[in-house]
Structure 1
Amino acid sequence: MTIVGPSDDRPSKNRRRDAQQKAKQLRDEQKKKDRRNRVFLRSGIIVGSLAIVALIAVVIVTSIRPVGPGPANMASDGLLIGEGMKVVTTSALSPEAKPVPTEPDTTGTVTDIRVYVDYLCQLCGQFDKTNGEQIAKWVGAGAATVEIHPIALLTHKSAGTEYSLRAANAAACVADSSPDDFFAFNSAMFTDQPEEGSAGRSDDDLLALVEKSGVHANLASIRRCIDDRTFVSWVKAATDRAVTGPVPNSDLTAIKGTPTVLVNGKQYVGSLNDPKEFAAFVLQAAGETYSTSTATPTPTPTPTPAG
């Protein structure tokens, strides 16, 4: 006969107690694991957020550079060349300073020619190849001055290389370090000119063109300037000023395209590949300005005979 007594309940109670303890242990371990996961998750979010903030900061600093001083000799946003093809030198403007427009000759004795160019602009190339030589003759003889304004309207039309911007920066580098060679470099930029939509010249190609155009002074400085893109912020600012206007010493409200050629403040809208037509316009503008003054005449522009 089997005797059943109170001692038979002990194994069952012990098992329940053990089960309860194991369940509690599992719950405690799960809670610890959940806390660790929450800590890791929060840490990961913080680290990820910091990384995103850092990336945004790098992008902002890289793409929005503070506007630094402009190049020397371009206080008007252009480089002015006078008699004997000598540059009118100016100091570099401080970042907060406004450009100082060139005062035109009001006596009518010297013709004021201003040209706004983009080095990727094919029409600019046509104008320079057609008229560059006779402009140099007029300026050399003291009959005219020429002021060249490099701007960058076609920056986004060079397969992502920002050639217009880099080219205008290179021109500013030459103006800053070797100004009397600027006119030759400006003309060289239109020789074998890259086509719109192409990648344009590399920075190394631009430096090679600097040397090829006859610039020998301060080449190391010009190299650093081109490599560092020292005047890119200035080019952007000068371009913005040109396209928002007003255009100094003219009736134009803004520069709407390149080339924009002004003669004594009047825009030339004639043929870009006929030197006689441009010469006639210059003579007419010079005559109209002179007729309103009583100055003693000096050499006036004359058409360059067709070769």
Structure 2
Amino acid sequence: MNEHRSGHERPSKNQRRAEAREKARQLREEQQKKERRNRWLLQGGVAFAAIAIVAVIALVLVNSVRPDGPGPRNMASDGIRIGAEFQVVPTASLPAGRDPLVSEANPPGVVDIQIVVDYLCPICGEFEATNGAFIETLIASGAATVEYRPIAILTSRSAGTEYSLRAANAAACVADRDPAAFFDFNASLFAEQPEEGTPGLDDERLIELAGEAGATAPTVERCIRDRTFASWVRDATDRALTGPLAIRDIAVDRVEGTPTIFVNGLRFEYRYPFEQEDFAQFVLQAAGDEFSTNPTPSPTPTPTP
């Protein structure tokens, strides 16, 4: 009798081995393709990361080898000096790498006030709010000059925007490009002083405040946007923190904080919170009898050669 095989006859042992080998081969090929694809992705990611690292290093190197430019005009002492009729005593730019110059002595009877400030420093803002009007009166009457020295010791405390540095740079821009506007611009920076830990004023607002103070030249706007004097701000800050400061009639090793205030070469050891009477009394004591009986007009600015 003939035997008929069913269409669902069980594969032989050899057939099952062949099928298993084929499936194994296919799995190996798929695994190899996956490994090659992952290797390509990994190599591509590493290459991209390497390019990014090289770009960052190149940027750092470019910035580090970029030569420092000169400081702003009218700030050869690391500060800007404002005298009679709120006119700035002019000076030439401080060449890069040069030590700041000590400002010339005032005539007898004219008080010399010097203030080291950081525009993000809240205590500086409170000193200005308490004593700004008194200082303005002294200048208006010709009884005193005031020299503002902006530094940036709080640059890292503005949510990554470097506000302290940007504000000091903006002040330097106004001092250099349109110095007649500096006194009002300085007051505006404190009037709108941001809190520590916040982004602070953006460049647009700094430009607006400069314009409102009278510094409307297009060069002021470009200077603020480009941070033209950022390297000078850093250098002035380093000089203030390491010393000695260029201040007449007193040896100042370094600034330990802001504000740091001098009147006729004497440091004002203030109490906090501020009282306007305290500073007024200190000015009178530092100035002596000649100030109250025979004030002499403050220096008249003369052009710098």
Length-normalised TM-score, structure 2: 0.75
Q: Distance in 1 between matches of 2:96 and 2:206?
A: 26
Q: Distance in 1 between matches of 2:266 and 2:116?
A: 13
**Would the alpha carbon gap of residues 195 and 52 (structure 1) be closer, same or farther in structure 2, given more than 3 Å must change?**
closer
Conserved? CA contact 1:185–1:210, under 8 Å: yes
Per the alignment, residue 243 of structure 1 pairs with 241
Q: Distance in 1 between matches of 2:149 and 2:165?
A: 13
Secondary structure in 2 matching 1:189? helix
Secondary structure in 1 matching 2:154? coil
Pair 1:285-2:283 in alignment: no
- What is the one-letter code of the residue matched to 1:227? R
Length-normalised TM-score, structure 1: 0.75
Per the alignment, residue 33 of structure 1 pairs with none
Per the alignment, residue 302 of structure 2 pairs with none
Per the alignment, residue 229 of structure 1 pairs with 227
Secondary structure in 2 matching 1:211? helix
Q: Distance in 1 between matches of 2:129 and 2:164?
A: 19
Conserved? CA contact 1:120–1:193, under 8 Å: yes
**Would the alpha carbon gap of residues 188 and 64 (structure 1) be closer, same or farther in structure 2, given more than 3 Å must change?**
farther
Pair 1:73-2:70 in alignment: no
Per the alignment, residue 210 of structure 2 pairs with 210
Pair 1:90-2:87 in alignment: no
Q: Deviations over 1:262-307 (max 9, x none)?
A: 101111122453111110000000017x59xxxx932599xxxxxx
Gaps of 5+ in 1: 1-44, 302-307
Pair 1:122-2:85 in alignment: no
Q: Deviations over 1:217-261 (max 9, x none)?
A: x1x101100111000000000011111111232232111100111
Instruction: Within 5 Å, give how 1:18-97 maps onto structure 2.
Output: 53=54, 55-62=56-63, 65-97=66-98
Conserved? CA contact 1:141–1:299, under 8 Å: no
Q: CA deviation at 1:75?
A: 0.7
Q: Distance in 1 between matches of 2:184 and 2:220?
A: 15
- What percentage of aligned pairs have identical amino acids? 50
Pair 1:297-2:298 in alignment: no
Q: Distance in 1 between matches of 2:57 and 2:230?
A: 21
Conserved? CA contact 2:83–2:139, under 8 Å: yes
- What is the one-letter code of the residue matched to 1:222? V
Q: CA deviation at 1:47?
A: 11
Per the alignment, residue 176 of structure 2 pairs with 176
Q: Distance in 2 between matches of 1:212 and 1:77?
A: 25
Conserved? CA contact 1:251–1:266, under 8 Å: no
- What is the one-letter code of the residue matched to 1:134? F
Per the alignment, residue 275 of structure 2 pairs with 274
Secondary structure in 2 matching 1:212? helix
Q: CA deviation at 1:215?
A: 2.9
Secondary structure in 2 matching 1:145? strand
Q: CA deviation at 1:50?
A: 8.3
Conserved? CA contact 2:84–2:297, under 8 Å: no
Q: Distance in 1 between matches of 2:78 and 2:232?
A: 9
Gaps of 5+ in 2: 1-45, 299-305
Per the alignment, residue 195 of structure 2 pairs with 195
Per the alignment, residue 157 of structure 1 pairs with 157
Q: Deviations over 1:124-158 (max 9, x none)?
A: 11111111111111112211110000000100111
- What is the one-letter code of the residue matched to 1:147? E
Per the alignment, residue 105 of structure 2 pairs with 104
Q: Distance in 1 between matches of 2:135 and 2:104?
A: 19
Conserved? CA contact 1:69–1:94, under 8 Å: yes
Q: CA deviation at 1:208?
A: 1.3
